A and B are shown apart, each in its own frame.
Chain A
Amino acid sequence: DAGVTQSPTHLIKTRGQQVTLRCSPKSGHDTVSWYQQALGQGPQFIFQYYEEEERQRGNFPDRFSGHQFPNYSSELNVNALLLGDSALYLCASEYEWGVSSYNEQFFGPGTRLTVL
């Protein structure tokens, strides 16, 4: 059973460009969350997708957008890249058992984005 997979592994972009990162959730999972981990910091929540809609959002500008597809895979898009967007972007998936249940998040290996 494959876990959470992300592509690409590494990416180098220049300021002002746009980037798309991809995530395939663990088999059977229907919810995907994205986190940004800057160097030397803990991960910060960007947003979460469930049933193809953004359900929660962290404190990130509108330059960060996402999408979830019918097969539950997800994309993270970042427009007008800034140097400060350089980070490890982590995707986490889970199965939505219900609002009264705890749902464990499983993390992928991340995509390392470098903005020059």
Chain B
Amino acid sequence: AQSVTQLDSQVPVFEEAPVELRCNYSSSVSVYLFWYVQYPNQGLQLLLKYLSGSTLVKGINGFEAEFNKSQTSFHLRKPSVHISDTAEYFCAVSDAHQGGSEKLVFGKGTKLTVNP
């Protein structure tokens, strides 16, 4: 069974500071990895995904993440955050072997608060 651990439930940062949201996963098979963002009272929006190839993945809104297979991690980073980045961020994993439509297994989320 797959699982995802988001190591920080809350991360407060100041505007224009860098941020890293940490994610570790557990799986016995090859995986796809995802980061989603959820703004208050909204659904989930895909920030970026790792399917294969380059371990450094760039997404929307200036976010990037690095897949580290040996450490089973997929940390999300942004060099300079804005007030508008305040939201909840979810790391998710799915089974890559099955292909097609696979369920997503989510972490519990990290609430990022950007202060002026």
In Å, the complex CA distance between A28 and B17 comes to 41
Q: Are A42 and B42 touching (Cβ within 8 A)?
A: no
Name which of B53-61, B63-71, B77-85, B93-101 contacts chain A. B93-101
Interface string of B30-74 (1 = CB under 8 A from A): 001000100001111110010100000000000000000000000
Q: Which of B51, B103, B105, B106 contacts A56 (CB 8 A)?
A: B103
The interface on chain B, measured as residues whose beta carbon lies within 8 A of the other chain's beta carbons, has a size of 25
B75 part of interface (Cβ distance < 8 Å)? no
Q: Are A97 and B43 touching (Cβ within 8 A)?
A: no
B98 neighbours in A (Cβ, 8 Å): 99
Q: Which of A41, A42, A103 contacts B101 (CB 8 A)?
A: A103
Q: Decide: A58 near B101, CB < 8 A? Known: A42-B109, A90-B44.
A: no
Q: Are B106 and A50 touching (Cβ within 8 A)?
A: no
B36 neighbours in A (Cβ, 8 Å): 107
Q: Which of B32, B49, B105, B108 contacts A45 (CB 8 A)?
A: B105
A25 part of interface (Cβ distance < 8 Å)? no
A55 part of interface (Cβ distance < 8 Å)? yes
A96 part of interface (Cβ distance < 8 Å)? yes
- What 9 A-B pairs have minimum CB-CB distances, sorted nearest first? A42-B106, A45-B103, A107-B43, A99-B100, A107-B44, A109-B43, A100-B99, A99-B99, A42-B108
Binding site for B on A (CB under 8 A): 4, 31, 33, 35, 40-45, 48, 50, 55-56, 58, 90, 92, 94, 96-110
